[in-house]
Copies of this chain bind each other. A is one copy, B any other.
Amino acid sequence: MSAPQPSKLAFVPFVSVENMMRLVNRIGVSTVLTELASYIEEDFGRWELFDKTPRVASHSAEGVIELMPTSDGIMYGFKYVNGHPKNMANGLQTVTALGLMSHVDNGYPALLTEMTLLTALRTAATSAMVAKHLAPTHSHTMAMIGNGAQSEFQALAMAALCGIKTLRLYDIDAAATNKLIQNLSGHGLELVACSSAQEAVEGAQIITTCTADKQLATILTDNMVGSGVHINAIGGDCPGKTELHHDILYRSDVFVEFEPQTRIEGEIQQVPADFPVSEMWKVINGESKGRTHDGQITLFDGVGFAIEDFSALRYIRDKIHNTAFYQELDMLADPDDPRDLFGMLQRARGDEK
């Protein structure tokens, strides 16, 4: 006796790393960043609909493993993500991630996907979407301090959404800068390697800090930041990990994703709990002010929020429809009679005999 085939309900579409790369390359990475930014902006615009459970973190001496769930009432999504700064020295990714999206009304998963690449894309798309709202108009030059795995995505997103044409690059490891220059040659950007962070910020309207030490660092000091810039600070994203001297915060208007989380994980962990910040969704919906004058320093204290992952899952789910960029995983036990899980198991013995 042969076992019955699993029903259609048993399968969950899965996007592997290989398929994610194919999908992104087929659409084009700049187009993906632009489209993703509009999905994120749309979800920020309906912010109040979302269940904003804090992420659930499991800390160890070596790093952290987190689950980041959220829901808009129709779909539920979560991301599994780790952060292990020492991984790089062992030839491993500092951050790896995977995500799941499912139907709120029956709990059945609708998508499982790699999210290491997708997180890099959504992080850059978020930064650029925020900068589109906050950076000085006619921005053309960005300083990029930290030229690691996230840097090229930031550069292309800022180029696509904010009109950045020149990148001034600095990393404590010149090999990282060389890698960035090699990767982005032919993308229509002027790439300038600088010998210090100080030199990199010269003439930049946008300053992106994207370094990875799990410690209090001072990538930018107060004297390096002139008036009329937008700072995109995305490397500080967990307790004890910051990049900016706190004096900069006092000269800036600070914008965050979700205030309770950023108080714990962001640059603002350096300042008192009543230090004023604005949530970006309010800026997008016109409830809070963004940039009000040319001399203002705007600072996006980005830590990454579950709604951005939700937007990314939603985007991939829409994009794989009617393509070959996914496979079906037999992941859900789905007996003909839902009460007959044991019978299904028993009937499968036909296969093994």
Complex Cα gap A341–B334 (Å): 37
C-alpha gap A179/B346 in the complex (Å): 12
Asked if A351 contacts B107 (CB within 8 A), the reply is: no
Which of B56, B93, B107, B343 touches A67 (beta carbons < 8 Å)? Answer: B56
Name the contact of A333 in the complex, choosing from B53, B60, B73, B93 (C-beta under 8 A).
B93
Given contacts A58-B53, A93-B332, A333-B114, contact A342 B106 (CB under 8 A): no
**Chain B residues near A349 (CB-CB < 8 A):** 25
Copies of this protein in the complex = 2
Q: Does residue A92 face the partner (Cβ distance < 8 Å to B)?
A: yes
Within 74-111 of A, Cβ neighbours of B (below 8 Å) are at 76, 78, 80, 82-84, 87-88, 90-94, 96, 98, 100, 102, 104-109
- Greatest chain B CB density within 10 A among A51, A83, A93, A176 is at A93
Check A331 for interface membership: any CB of B closer than 8 A.
yes
A224 part of interface (Cβ distance < 8 Å)? no
Please determine whether A92 and B351 come into contact, CB atoms closer than 8 angstroms: no
Do residues B117 and A341 form an inter-chain contact, with CB atoms below 8 A?
yes
Give bound CA distance, A316 to B114, whole Å.
Answer: 22
Q: CA of A180 to CA of B343 in the docked complex: distance in angstroms? A: 9
Contact A333 B17 (CB under 8 A): yes
Contacts from A to B (Cβ < 8 Å):
3, 6, 9-10, 14, 16-18, 20-22, 24-26, 29, 51, 53, 56, 58, 60, 62-65, 67, 69, 71, 73, 76, 78, 80, 82-84, 87-88, 90-94, 96, 98, 100, 102, 104-109, 114, 116-117, 120, 147-153, 176, 179, 182-183, 329-335, 337-346, 348-349, 351-352
